[in-house]
Structure formats: structure tokens, C-alpha cells
Structure 1
Amino acid sequence: MLGMVIVSHSEKIAEGVRELALQMAKDVNIVPAGGLCDGGIGTDLEKIMNGISEADSGEGVIVLMDLGSAVMTTEMAIDMVENDVTMIDGPVVEGGIAAAVTIMSGGSIEDIKKAVDECKTINKF
């Protein structure tokens, strides 16, 4: 099964997205990689690299990121690991849940991208 890493500038956001997604996809290995090592706001290359390694069970990893530098730091992390990693563009909360459910149901990377992409247009009311 694919693993998933949530990269956020905030440790609490990454952990919260993981917590929500696990409510609907409890068997998916979701690793939060949020904030700096000292608990501050930012993205940490080593945290992301470790998250990718931890999430990978041998079938690959998808990564969802929140903002600009999270994308850049994730790209650097991917360049430094040997894992099969796919970055997915989409909203972190809704997309994280959609990705986890799609992984849980055996969806492909393309299925996951489509599910996350559909979250970009969700109307809340």
C-alpha cells in the first residue's frame, strides 16, 4: 500500500490532517512532517526525508504540501532519497482525506491525483 506524508509549515496542521484522515482510512501509513525540529513554523528537509522513509512500505509514497517553500523543500528531499515519491498538488486537509481514502481503496497514483484535484472545487455551503 502507498504511504503518505503531509508536509506543512505547522507541526500541528500536519498532525491534525493525519488524525482526520485516519478516521476514514485507518490502515494507511500517514506520516506528518510539519514545522521545524525546534517546534517552530517552517519546513525541515530532514523531517521530510525521514517522513518519506517512514511512510514507504516498498510501494511508494505520495506527499501533499501546504505552501510555497514546503513544495521547494519537498522537491529537495525527493532529490536526496531513493524512494519512489509523487508530489500531489491540492488542498492539504480535504486532499489529504481524499488521498488516504483512495489509497485505502487500492487506487492508483492517477486515481489519487484525480481525487485530490476534485477537492479544489469543493463548495462548503
Structure 2
Amino acid sequence: MLSILILSHSPDIAKGLREMCLQMVSGDVVIDAIGGTKDGRLGIDAELVLNRLKAIAAESDGVVILGDIGSTIMAAKNALDMLGVSGKVRIADAPLVEGAIVAALEASMGSPMERVVRKAEETKFVSKL
């Protein structure tokens, strides 16, 4: 079973996007989200990212991470370096909302991690008009 980890500077965006993804999947996928700082402000809690990623990676066949901007990706990269689970975890270079939804759907259908990441990254090129 694959897991999706959503990272956002906003607690509300992280929570809302997780709920949206959960409502759209029908298969076996874990979707987790981290947003904001320990005290609820905008930002990212790098220690929480590290601890949550460690737990999720231990329980999953693989983890696909999607983040919004800058330091969420930096926190994910630092956690990967510290945990040494790089083969089991991938950071998708994708728009957060569209990428997370597509990744969750692909993972819930049992797609392998490389396909989940590729499909999430392809959302960069989807026109909305």
C-alpha cells in the first residue's frame, strides 16, 4: 500500500486537501497531511515532517510527498536525508492540489509508485481552460 503525504504552509489547506482526496479515492491508500507550525501559524514544522515521514514509511510500501512551496520541500528533503529512506519515498514535482488528487487516485487503484509520481507530475501541463 502506498501513502501520500501532503505538506502545506497552511493548516487549513493541508486538512482540506486531505479531506478532498479521501472523498475521491475508493481503494487502499493512506493520505496524511501536515500544515502550519506547532502553534498553528503559517509555516511548516520540520520536526513533525521528519517524525511523521518516519512512521508512514515504516508502515507503507512507499510514500509520495507533495508540497506547496519552498520550505515544505526543503523539510521533506531534509527528512529524507536524515531517515535514509530515499528509495521508498519520492517527492513529486507537481502542483499541490491537482497533483495530490491524481496521486491519491492512482495510488488507490494500486498503481506502482513511479506511475503515481509520473501522473502527479503530469498535472503541471494540464490546461484548465
Using the size of structure 2 for normalisation, the TM-score is 0.88
CA distance in 2, matches of 1:97, 1:54: 22
Aligned Cα root-mean-square deviation (Å): 1.5
CA distance in 2, matches of 1:71, 1:93: 15
Shift of residue 72, structure 1, vs aligned partner: 0.9
Structure 1, unaligned runs of 5 or more: none
Percent identity for Structure 1 against Structure 2 = 39
Q: 90, 110, 117: which one pairs with 2:114?
A: 110
Using the size of structure 1 for normalisation, the TM-score is 0.90
Regions of 4+ moved over 6 Å: none
* Contact 2:6/2:66, CA 8 A, preserved across alignment: yes
* Contact 1:31/1:54, CA 8 A, preserved across alignment: no
Paired position in structure 2 for 1:28: 29
* Contact 1:63/1:88, CA 8 A, preserved across alignment: yes
Give the match's secondary structure for 2:16.
Answer: helix
* Contact 1:4/1:55, CA 8 A, preserved across alignment: no
* Contact 1:30/1:55, CA 8 A, preserved across alignment: no
Paired position in structure 2 for 1:3: 3
* Contact 2:90/2:117, CA 8 A, preserved across alignment: no
AA of the residue aligned to 2:126: I
Structure 2, unaligned runs of 5 or more: none
Give the match's secondary structure for 1:50.
Answer: helix
**Per-residue CA shift, 1:30-69, capped at 9, x if unaligned?**
1111111110111111221232134332312111011011
CA distance in 2, matches of 1:85, 1:110: 10
Shift of residue 81, structure 1, vs aligned partner: 2.3
